[in-house]
Amino acid sequence: MGKAAPQPDLFADGAQPPPLPEGVAWYRGRLSKAEQIGLLDDAVAILQAAPLFRPRMRNGTPLINKMTNCGALGWYSDEKGYRYIAQHPETGAPWPPIPSRLSALCDAIMDELGIAGYAPDACLVNAYGAEGRLNLHQDHDEVDFRWPIVSVSLGADALFVLGGYSRKDKVLPIRLCSGDVVVLYGKGRTLFHGVKKVFPGTSPVSHPALNGLARINFTLRRAR
Ligand code: MD6
Ligand code: FE
């Protein structure tokens, strides 16, 4: 599915991106400041409708970051394991819809990658505090890995690491900035990845959505 990786012409500032594995597209500086603010406005509305919560691992340990969701389905985890659910675990309300600005961005990128028919039904909102991070993981709770995951970063820079198909594989460090978009698709869809750290105070935009938070990341997926 899709065309050859569009690297290395993605960087708005003319810098040379590192060689990326097949099935990884990194659009650095994809969003203007105005577009970033628009998505942060959307984040405020999502957090109002679906307050941040802290999922737990099977053994009861809470994850480091708080999160919430928008879309028909939302990712959740507790003692019963990782899964997608249709209602907020604390309020019982359905998740708010995926904001149209986010769907439009996703559509435009799918167009550029030559991927037709992608209709994300879930969007995880990861909220990082100054000490936020995300352990190395594969996104594998979705039914069909042929559908990509599209990630949008807002707020402070983050040290993102991209590994291989085994947890032990060497990782490539990438500094993700506000307005960057990363797509894992095709062979890249199940690569290990994580966020080693965020760099508080580096956000190019200030916005009420970032009050008490350093970074917000949206990941759009097709869960079912
Ligand atoms: C983050 N991103 O950037 C976490 N997952 O905060 C992810 O876990 C991720 O960037 C799937 C595809 C792209 C990603
Ligand atoms: Fe992920």
Per-residue confidence (pLDDT) for residue 222, from 0 to 100: 98
Q: Is the CB of 160 under 6 A from ligand 1?
A: yes
Each residue's pLDDT tens digit, 170-221: 999 999 999 999 999 999 999 999 999 999 999 999 999 999 999 999 999 9
Per-residue confidence (pLDDT) for residue 15, from 0 to 100: 74
Per-residue confidence (pLDDT) for residue 17, from 0 to 100: 76
Range scoring the smallest mean pLDDT among 3-7, 48-52, 73-77: 3-7
Domains in the chain: boundaries: 24-221
pLDDT beyond 70 at 3: no
Q: Is the CB of 40 under 6 A from ligand 1?
A: no
Q: Is the CB of 43 under 6 A from ligand 1?
A: no
Q: Is the CB of 184 under 6 A from ligand 1?
A: yes
Q: Is the torsion defined by CA of 168, 172, 175, 176 positive or negative? A: negative
Per-residue confidence (pLDDT) for residue 4, from 0 to 100: 46
CA 45 centroid distance within chain: 18
Q: Ligand 2 centroid vs 138 CA: distance in angstroms?
A: 6
Per-residue confidence (pLDDT) for residue 12, from 0 to 100: 66
Compute the average pLDDT of residues 17-25.
Answer: 92
Q: What are phi and psi of 35, to 5 degrees?
A: -70, -40
Q: Is the CB of 214 under 6 A from ligand 1?
A: no
Each residue's pLDDT tens digit, 203-217: 999 999 999 999 999
Each residue's pLDDT tens digit, 41-54: 999 999 999 999 99
Asked if residue 185 lies in contact with residue 220, where contact means CB atoms within 8 angstroms, the answer is: no
Distance in angstroms (rounded) separating the CA atoms of residues 24 and 5: 7
Distance in angstroms (rounded) separating the CA atoms of residues 135 and 197: 10
Compute the average pLDDT of residues 26-49.
Answer: 98
Q: Is the CB of 139 under 6 A from ligand 1?
A: yes
Q: Is the CB of 125 under 6 A from ligand 1?
A: no
Which residue, by CA, sits nearest to atom 12 of ligand 1?
149
Each residue's pLDDT tens digit, 91-118: 999 999 999 999 999 999 999 999 999 9
Q: What is the CATH number of domain 24-221?
A: 2.60.120.590
The beta-strand segments (E) located in 28-121 are: 66-70, 74-78, 81-85
Distance in angstroms (rounded) separating the CA atoms of residues 9 and 25: 10
Cβ contacts of residue 146 below 8 Å, gap of 6+?
A: 1, 189
Per-residue confidence (pLDDT) for residue 106, from 0 to 100: 98
Q: Ligand 1 centroid vs 118 CA: distance in angstroms?
A: 18
Atom of ligand 1 at shortest range from CA of 128: 6
Q: Ligand 1 centroid vs 139 CA: distance in angstroms?
A: 9
Q: Quote the mean pLDDT of the chain.
A: 95
Per-residue confidence (pLDDT) for residue 1, from 0 to 100: 44
